[in-house]
């Protein structure tokens, strides 16, 4: 090994170290020059959004935008927060059709219970049997009930005579305008 042969190698390793330092130095310098530009763009975006917010919020709170041309950023944000606090809470979602049907069925059942008790349309045993049947129909899943014929009626309902007051009431009512479908059981 001659002194000349080791010198170029040492020089090469020194230069390669300088190249890496030069690249990191350039990157740092580049970051330092770009940082103010990025900050300027960020502030411009914030200011533009605040101006849009001001043009949106002033009509909503019934303020004349010509009188409020110069507002501080904090004022715009405070007006927006106050407006959003005053907005009423959204309505609860509408119930599903099946749940709406069940609620209506329960309301009708409640009215029927009151009418049967008030006007004594059916004797006690027959009325309670009818109400039990209707409540069972309400609690059964819709796919499992068969409305073509009331097979699960209690004996008091099955042997109800036509001379009962409820039967006379049904017979006195006018016939429905449209014919019921043959597969659906109707009390009339």
pTM: 0.38
User: How many angstroms separate the CA atoms of 141 and 145, rounded?
Assistant: 7
Residues in the chain predicted with pLDDT less than 50, given as ranges, are 1, 143-144, 147-149, 161-164, 166-174, 176, 180
Any residues with CB less than 8 A from the CB of 117 and at least 6 apart, and which?
Answer: 127
Handedness of CA 165, 166, 167, 168 (dihedral sign): positive
Residue 63 DSSP class: -
Q: Looking at residue 51, what is its pLDDT?
A: 92
User: How many angstroms separate the CA atoms of 123 and 164, rounded?
Assistant: 9
């Amino acid at each position: 090994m001659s002194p000349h042969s080791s010198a170029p190698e040492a020089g090469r390793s020194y230069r390669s170290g300088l190249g890496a330092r030069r690249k990191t130095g350039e990157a740092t310098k580049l970051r330092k020059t770009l940082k103010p530009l990025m900050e300027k763009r960020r502030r411009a975006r914030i200011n533009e959004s605040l101006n849009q917010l001001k043009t949106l919020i002033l009509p909503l709170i019934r303020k004349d935008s010509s009188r409020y041309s110069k507002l501080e950023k904090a004022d715009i944000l405070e007006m927006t927060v106050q407006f959003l606090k005053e907005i009423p809470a959204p309505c609860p979602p509408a119930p599903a059709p099946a749940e709406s049907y069940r609620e209506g069925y329960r309301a009708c059942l409640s009215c029927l219970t009151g009418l049967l008790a008030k006007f004594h349309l059916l004797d006690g045993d027959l009325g309670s049997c009818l109400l039990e049947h209707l409540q069972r129909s309400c609690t059964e899943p819709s796919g499992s009930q068969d409305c073509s014929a009331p097979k699960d009626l209690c004996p008091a309902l099955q042997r109800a005579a036509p001379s009962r007051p409820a039967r006379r009431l049904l017979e006195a009512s006018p016939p429905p305008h449209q014919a019921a479908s043959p597969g659906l059981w109707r009390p009339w």
